[in-house]
Every structure is written in C-alpha cells, then in structure tokens.
Amino acid sequence: MKKILIVDDDANQLKLLSRLLHSNKFNVVAAPSGEEALEKIHTSDFDLVLLDQVMQQMSGIDVLVEIKKLKPWMSVIIITGFATVDDAVEATKKGASNYLSKPLDVDKLIVSIRRALEESKFKPLAPTADLDVTFGLLSHQIRRNMITMLRQNNKMHLMEMVRFLRIEDHTKVVFHARILKQAGVVKQDKDKSYFLTARGEKITNCFNLIENDLFS
C-alpha cells in the first residue's frame, strides 16, 4: 500500500482528503502544517506528498523546496485554491510532479497521484533522464525488441538484429537504430556492432519494471 502524506492547515480539507485517499486504498498520514510535515519527512519515507500551497507560516512552495533538499526523489503534488500560470510554472521548476486547482476533481486527483507514483519508480534508475523521452523510446515494439536483444546478447550487427526481428525491410531497423543512437541508448564499436550504453541499461531496467507491473 502506497504511503501518502497530506499537508493542509484546513482541518476540514485535511479530513476530507484523508478519507478520500484511504477509500482508494492508500496509506494516509496527515500533517496540519508545513513544519509538522517536514518533521515527519525527516523521520519517515513517503511515496508521495499532497501539499496545499497557501498555509500559515510556511507556504506550500517553501515546504516543497525543503522536501527536495531532504529527499529529492520524493514526489510532490501541489494543490491550491488560487491557481495562476506563474505559480504552476514556479512549482514545476522547484520539483512538483503536478499542480492542481481547487475545487479538486476527484478523478483527476486520483489519476495524478497514480501517475506520479508510477513515474517515481524510475527516478532511482534514471534520475537525470527525461521520462517523456524514455517512454517515447519504449513506445515502439521494434525499439523495445532491439533493446531487449542487446541486453541479452551484449553486441549485435545490424543484419543480426534484422534476422532476429524477422523484418524483411532492413531500413526499418536502421531507422529505429538511429533513433536509439541519437538518444544515447546504443552505440557502435569499431566493428559496427551495436551495444547498450549505461543509459540504455537503465532504460532496460525501466522496461522490466513496466513489464512486471503489467503481468504481475
């Protein structure tokens, strides 16, 4: 069960969100202030923090900054009743996974939480990688197969991959190999054999995580 910290100085809102997330099978911990939230984060790990922006003493943005100093991998979603584009941009720059406006759309909130939790799986594997690029690379079956083959065989020539993939038009394989090469996922040695880079290895780990989730 995923552990979520809810931070809000409005007692009614805090109770409402706690009940909502608990009903969606999340393990919920509540904090009525930014200071108390940081104390809890010092002593415990959370999969996600749901953080109100406008609070007494410490604002949500101030708390976000401190969370990222303490545990930069921790996912944070900012919620606010006074949403502006500038605030959303600032929150994103400071590390927020998402920025949601009140009154909250329950379905949108749950989707945002689940997406942030899914993305957080890959942060320890590829902390500097752009997740959108990673998912884009894995979105095509040929590229996924090529990455898997190189993981299993270490090095392969182009025509070896064509035969393994059973693709008659080898230019398709050339095209996808070029995409992987430009993304820094594969390289070629002096013998023109393709092999996975360190980033390619991390992306393979991401792919394995996705497969395990789908079929577990």
CA 91 – CA 54 distance, rounded (Å): 13
Find the mean pLDDT for residues 49-67: 93
Same domain, yes or no: 95 and 198: no
Report CA 8 to chain centroid distance, whole Å: 24
- Are residue 40 and residue 90 in the same domain, yes or no? yes
- Domain final position from 65, 96, 120: 120
Query: Among 120, 152, 184, where does a domain finish?
Result: 120
Closest-CA residue to 65 (of 30, 32, 41, 101): 41
pLDDT above 70 covers what percent of the chain?
Answer: 85
| Residue at 126 is within a domain | no
Report d(CA 174, CA 77) in Å as an integer: 41
Q: How confident is the model over 91-130, as pLDDT tens digits?
A: 888 888 888 888 889 999 999 899 888 877 655 544 444 5
Domain identity same for 115 and 9: yes
Q: In what order do the strands lie in the sheet with 3-7?
A: 27-31, 3-7, 48-52, 75-80, 98-101
* Whole-number pLDDT of residue 206: 62
Total-model pTM: 0.59
Q: Give the residue-averaged pLDDT of 145-154.
A: 90
* Pair 35, 141 in one domain: no
* pLDDT confidence of residue 134: 65
Mean pLDDT of 47-70: 92
Domain count, the chain: 2
Q: Is the Cβ–Cβ distance between 135 and 184 less than 8 Å?
A: no
Give me the amino acid identity at 53: Q
Q: Which two tokens stand for residue 5?
A: 């910290």
Give the mean model confidence (pLDDT) for residues 84-93: 78
User: Is the CB of residue 49 less than 8 Å from the CB of residue 33?
Assistant: no
Q: Are residues 135 and 62 in the same domain?
A: no
The answer to whether residues 9 and 85 belong to one domain is: yes
Q: Which residues of 121-159 are buried (b: 16+ CB within 10 A; e: fewer)?
A: ebeebbeebeeeebeebbeeebbbbbbebbbeeeebeee
User: Which CATH number covers residue 92?
Assistant: 3.40.50.2300
**Cα 201 to Cα 198: distance, rounded to the nearest angstrom:** 5
Angle at 87 (CA atoms; ends 132, 47), nearest 5 degrees: 55
Please tell me the predicted confidence (pLDDT) of residue 132.
56
Give whichever of 46-50, 81-85, 133-137 has the largest mean pLDDT: 46-50
| 94 and 147 inside one domain | no
Domain that holds residue 85: 3-120
Question: Do 181 and 143 reside in the same domain of the chain?
Answer: yes
Q: Are residues 150 and 116 in the same domain?
A: no
| One-letter identity of residue 215 | F
Convert the pLDDT of each residue in 13-56 to its tens digit. Answer: 999 999 999 999 999 999 999 999 999 999 998 999 999 999 98
Residues 200 and 169 in one domain: yes
User: Residues 145-168: what's their mean pLDDT?
Assistant: 91
pLDDT value of residue 121: 66
